[in-house]
Amino acid sequence: MKRNKNIVPLSREHHATLLFCWKLKSGIQLGIDPERIQRYVNYFYEHELLPHFKKEEDLLFTDHQDEMVQKALQDHQSILSKVKEVKNCHGEHCYSVFEELAALVNDHTRYEERTLFPYLESKIPEEELERIGKILEGEDHGAEENYNDQFWIQ
């Protein structure tokens, strides 16, 4: 299904979240020092994940009675809890926490793209989608990061 042009910017941000998952997995496979990966998780959380979740929650996930929206909101909370766990882990135990975080983010992103967004596109009136599109217009929604330690490349 073709994405409604007004929420395409959020789908572009989903590309960044899938890259985030790949980078975590690559760091684990390469045996990168967990502290380096933790710093990246903290960076991504502050600069990408929190702003993305806020946009979705403020603009799209407004019907808190809707079960599909509730699932997305619960996913956001689970991901944020896992990020806090990453901040508090130490040593090689962190690798399993990174894997869990990557799985949560990946599964959530796939849910939104394959199930929730098509559902919301059919449910939200076109005028409201256009209003959302105007708000998102002009913001940076790419997958480009300004993170210097590219541990996933060796």
Residue at 117 is within a domain: yes
Q: What is the pLDDT of residues 64-96, one digit of tens each?
A: 999 999 999 999 999 999 999 999 999 989 999
pLDDT value of position 34: 96
The pLDDT > 70 percentage for the chain reads: 95
pLDDT-derived band at 2, boundaries 50, 70, 90: confident
Residue at 151 is within a domain: no
Give the number of domains in the chain: 1
Residue at 55 is within a domain: yes
Residue at 123 is within a domain: yes
- 1, pLDDT greater than 80: no
**Mean pLDDT throughout 99-115?**
98
Instruction: Kindly state the tokens that stand for 36.
Output: 């380096």
pTM of the model: 0.92
Residues found in the chain: 154
Which range of residues forms the domain containing residue 57? 8-136
Residue at 150 is within a domain: no
Residue at 148 is within a domain: no
Residue at 141 is within a domain: no
CA 49 to chain centre: 5
Residue at 76 is within a domain: yes
- In the chain, DSSP finds a helix count (H) and a strand count (E) of 7, 0
Q: What is the pLDDT of residues 7-46, one digit of tens each?
A: 999 999 999 999 999 999 999 999 999 999 999 999 999 9
